[in-house]
Amino acid sequence: MDETVKLSSSQAPNKKNNWFENYKRWFLGVGVEWTASGADLLLIEEMTVARNRIQHGSRGDSHGLIKTQDEDYRSRFPKALFQSDLEARMFRNFGPKLRSIELTKERLNRAIVEIMLFANFIEEHLPVEMKYWRG
């Protein structure tokens, strides 16, 4: 995303304070409306949050293999794709509200499909002066 932004002479979007929304607005400014991509934007945003929690989040088990959501993740994505199904069923009405982050083959494949849909859309709709040649 950053490399694509560099192709334009416009000022890069702010990475702080909801960077996803800032990038979305920046792309709209160069004529690329993410909502028209058909990709699941909520899922793409969740991927970035899940990635941050996996990279920097607290451990959810003794082996340090499982990472959990934080309050922000939970409140922004109440129907998160990468949450433990088992915990969601077990703790629907009681128990801990923060779920373990869980990746399965099916979820990974769905995420990959959405990313490629999103990336291809951006590639197709970038303005020509950003994509090919600049005079």
Question: Considering only CA atoms, which of 92, 94, 86, 42 is closest in space to residue 60?
Answer: 86
Question: What tokens appear for 113 in the block?
Answer: 């499909």
The nearest distance, CB 124 to other proteins, in angstroms, is 10
Which positions from 13 through 72 interact with other proteins, judged by CB under 8 A? 61, 63, 65-66
Separation CA 99–CA 70 (nearest Å): 8
* Per-residue contact string for residues 96-135; x = within reach of other proteins by CB under 8 A: ----xxxxxx--xx--x--xx--xx--x--xxxxxxxxxx
Report the half-sphere exposure of 12 (CA within 13 A, side-chain side).
11
Residue for token pair 């769905």: 110
The nearest distance, CB 130 to other proteins, in angstroms, is 7
Separation CA 89–CA 87 (nearest Å): 5
Q: Which residue, 10 or 109, has its beta carbon nearer to other proteins?
A: 109
> Which chain residues interact with other proteins by CB under 8 A?
3-4, 7, 61, 63, 65-66, 84, 100-105, 108-109, 112, 115-116, 119-120, 123, 126-135
